[in-house]
Structure 1
Amino acid sequence: MSETRTPVATEQAAPAPPEESEELSGRKASLWADAWRELRHNPIFLVSASLVVIFAVMAAFPQLFTDGDPRNCPLERSLGSPSAEHWFGFDLQGCDYYTLVVYGARVSMVIGTVVTFFSVLIALVLGSLAGYYGGLVDTVISRFTDVVFGLPFILGAIVVLSVVSEQSLFWVVVVLVLLGWTTMTRLTRSSVLSVRDADYVKAAKALGAGDLRILTRHVLPNAIAPVIVYATIYIGIIIAAEAALSFLGVGLQLPAISWGLMISEADTRVLSSPHLLLFPGLFLSLTVLSFILMGDALRDALDPKLR
């Protein structure tokens, strides 16, 4: 008699393998991820960002670009023309001009980034308070912003720097910060106004989240994009403003090394020694243009309507 065997237990079905997904599956889609994908294929952004990185490295590590000493200035080389050995020639004191141009990047980049950083901090605080709370808080902050905004930027900086006892890097930064936060404050306020009544903000309030948490975790992350775009452009604006103030004689003073100071010293020798104006002017223009183009590319990438 044959014995019939029955399975004691059925095998457990193996879990189905996950389906293959498209490029964006498994990732949380966001505005910043979309913007980065857009920027990676934007030649204008790639070129401008590369130039910004080069100038930043030049400012931080000038020894990588030249082994010369910017203070080594034999007078017998005064106003020497560019040559194969000395690409940019020499200035009036006999300093190697290429070395001066390289070391001049440090002041411009430091002033541009530091002024922009503190201006953004002021703008985020004041603009967030004005846009989120509204009412009397918004009125006081907005009217104060309008008063400061009414001061001409360059003219106001000239007046203040003309009365300070020492026209140093510190005072140039302080004056530019005090006069330069207004536009970003307006941008922050308008961005916060556009998101403060969103559903996720109302949900956070309903769950009992405090104002500080709502601002830092929900409002600002969704309202900061226009400020970042303008801040990128603003670095270039500040670098140009510092050069203008130094050229007018109220910014940095010798023995500081600055592109603005170099252009100022070249204004009376443009025809006889054009290299004195050409090279610092070229580096200054490329730096400012790079930040502006990078800011424009960021704006296009962060605004879906412009794609």
Structure 2
Amino acid sequence: MSERLATEVAEDEPSGRQASLWSDAWRELRHDKIFVIAALVVLVFVTMAAFPRLFTSADPRQCDLSRSLGRPSADHWFGFDLLGCDYYAQVIHGARASITIGIVVTISALVIAILLGSLAGYYGGILDALIARFTDIIFGLPFILGAIVILTVFETRGLPQVSFVLAVLGWTTMTRLVRSSVLSARDNDYVVAARALGAGDLRLLWRHILPNALAPVIVYATIYVGIVIAAEATLSFLGVGLQLPAISWGLMISDAQYRIAEAPHLLFFPGLLLSLTVLSFILMGDALRDALDPKLR
């Protein structure tokens, strides 16, 4: 009887604590106007990236040179680019590349971080030292500069190449967060009790430790989506990111830099949507941090 009770306590305490943490956070977030507005903006842009035809029926690649650099009007809200392509359609379709790279890179970096950070924090010792030194080496590479150097090696730079390079360089901070969280959670009473009752390492990590260690990583990952989107735009602006015929906000801003005086709309509209997207992810992350940290309430 006592053994069964101990088992139930060991299994239910972490999940109950985690459920309480997220339910309390959700109650806070529902009444946070900044979080709600930012989440709605992100939802609109993600929908735009997934289903651009919901926002425009125009073909972004159908161009007419007679309309080159046409100004915004009631019929064409964002005007036309140098080749006479409908700029509103291009801005809408440009969301797909930017947001896809942001989400794919963040998920990839999160998977790497959970794997390496869990191993380092749980086992410690030599394995922890090796992972820590490898993380330091990658962390020592400047994010943008390292991406520029690596991307110049590729002859073709599309979504897979840019996502791969940013993911390779972007997992280090998350790994440190996972490691420190796992390190602090592995000696908690419910973990010790589960280990004493014969739970294996995989079960301890998956069932007891990670659910209580991922909150700070989720917060950072939310902010990191915006960071990656800004990084992709920066690389494309510098000419080492996505290449034509891809459509992205960074490429559009890069093309607009030479025509700011005669056609400011070429810079304004993609720059506005890029800024709103990045800002929304950062505000969501800040709100999540405040909601998940009882000390900040």
- Alignment TM-score, normalising by the size of structure 2: 0.93
**One-letter amino acid of the structure 1 residue matched with residue 81 of structure 2:** D
- The corresponding residue for 1:21 is none
**Alignment match, 1:134:** 124
Match of 1:155 in 2: 145
Aligned to 2:110: 120
Counterpart in the other structure of 2:70: 80
SS in 2 for 1:73: coil
Q: Secondary structure at the match of 2:70?
A: coil
SS in structure 1 opposite 2:258?
coil
Measured in 2, the distance between the counterparts of 1:204 and 1:189 equals: 20
- Pairing 1:182–2:210 present: no
Quote how far apart the aligned CAs of 1:186 are. 0.3
Question: Which amino acid in 2 is paired with 1:292?
Answer: I
Equivalent position to 2:42, from 43, 52, 56: 52
> 1:109 aligns to what?
99
Alignment of 1:5-20 (within 5 A): none
- Asked if 1:246 is matched to 2:236, the reply is yes
Amino acid across the alignment from 2:196: A
Conservation of the 8 A alpha-carbon contact between 2:237 and 2:250: yes
Matched, 1:196 2:186: yes
Distance 2:296 2:247 in 1: 41
Secondary structure in 2 matching 1:59: helix
Higher helix share: 2
**Residue 246 of structure 1: how far off its partner (Å):** 0.4
- Residue 295 (structure 2) pairs with residue 295 (structure 1): no
Q: How far, CA to CA, are the matches of 1:58 and 1:166 in structure 2?
A: 26
Taking the aligned partners of 2:244 and 2:127, their CA distance within structure 1 comes to 44
Number of the residue aligned with 2:210 = 220
Q: Give SS of 1:47's match.
A: helix
| Residues in 2 aligned to 1:39 and 1:211: alpha-carbon distance in whole angstroms | 34
Q: Which of 22, 37, 50 is 2:27 aligned to? A: 37
Which aligned segments of 4 or more residues in structure 1 are displaced greater than 6 angstroms? Answer: none
> Aligned residue for 1:208?
198
TM-score of the two chains, using structure 1 as the length reference: 0.90
What code does the residue aligned with 2:25 have? Answer: A
Secondary structure at the aligned position of 2:259 is classed as: coil
Deviations 1:174-198 (A, max 9, x none): 1001000000000000111111100
Aligned position for 1:12: none
Determine the structure 2 residue equivalent to 1:270: 260
What RMSD, in angstroms, separates the aligned Cα atoms of the two structures? 0.9
Q: 1:207 & 1:183 partners in 2: Cα distance? A: 34
Task: State the Cα distance separating 1:298 from its structure 2 match.
Answer: 0.3
How far 1:232 sits from its partner (Å)? 0.2
C-alpha separation between the residues in 2 aligned to 1:125 and 1:63? Answer: 38
Q: Distance in 1 between matches of 2:157 and 2:62?
A: 25
Give 1:66's aligned residue. Answer: 56
CA distance, structure 2, for counterparts of residue 166 and residue 55 of structure 1: 27
Q: Does 1:92 align with 2:79?
A: no
| Counterpart residue identity of residue 267, structure 1 | Q
Spell out, residue by residue over 1:42-74, the C-alpha distance to the aligned partner (whole angstroms, 9 max, x if none).
001000000000001000111110110111101
- 1:284 and 2:280 equivalent? no
Matched position secondary structure for 1:71: coil
Unaligned runs of 5+ in 1: 1-26
Higher Cα Rg: structure 1 or 2? 1
SS of equivalent residue, structure 1 residue 202: helix
Q: For residues 125-155 of structure 1, give each alpha carbon's deviation from its aligned partner in whole angstroms, at most 9, with x where no partner exists.
A: 0000101111111100001000000000000
Report what 2:154 is aligned to: 164
Percent sequence identity over aligned pairs: 72
Secondary structure of 1:69's counterpart equals coil
Which consecutive residues of structure 2, in runs of 5 or more, have no partner in the other structure?
1-15
Distance in 2 (CA, whole Å) between partners of 1:167 and 1:121 is 23
Deviation at 1:162, TM superposition (A): 0.6
Q: Is the 8 A contact 2:101 2:228 kept in 1?
A: yes
Q: Distance in 2 between matches of 1:38 and 1:121?
A: 28
Between the aligned partners of 1:165 and 1:203, the Cα distance in structure 2 is 55
